[in-house]
């Protein structure tokens, strides 16, 4: 979240990619950093024990949401994947 906020403050569109395990924590962190509307895309948890192929699949699953979030109007909301 820190990097997303830093880039946004400096005028560069950014999105945080966060594990679904940390949905609430990401919201709290964005609020604490003063950017409640910092954009987030959520990737399915777990991450740590995922195989290389599972990680590729997880990444593939969020490409469209990540691009849409980066190109959407500010404050459009979070993109979460089930």
The reported pLDDT for the residue numbered 54 is 97
Q: Edge-to-edge strands of the sheet including 79-80?
A: 16-19, 40-43, 79-80
Tokens for 18? 């966060």
Domain of 7? 2-80
pLDDT tens, residue by residue, 63-76: 999 999 999 855 44
The reported pLDDT for the residue numbered 72 is 87
What total number of domains does the chain contain? 1
pTM of the entire predicted model:
0.80
In 1-82, at which residue ranges do the beta strands (DSSP E only) sit? Answer: 16-19, 40-43, 79-80
């Amino acid at each position: 979240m820190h990097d997303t906020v830093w880039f946004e403050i400096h005028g560069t569109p950014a999105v945080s990619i966060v594990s679904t395990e940390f949905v609430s924590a990401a919201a709290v962190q964005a609020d604490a950093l003063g950017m409640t509307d910092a954009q987030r895309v959520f990737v399915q948890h777990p991450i740590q024990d995922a195989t290389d192929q599972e990680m590729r699949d997880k990444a593939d699953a969020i490409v469209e949401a990540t691009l849409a979030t980066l190109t959407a109007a500010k404050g459009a909301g979070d993109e979460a994947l089930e």
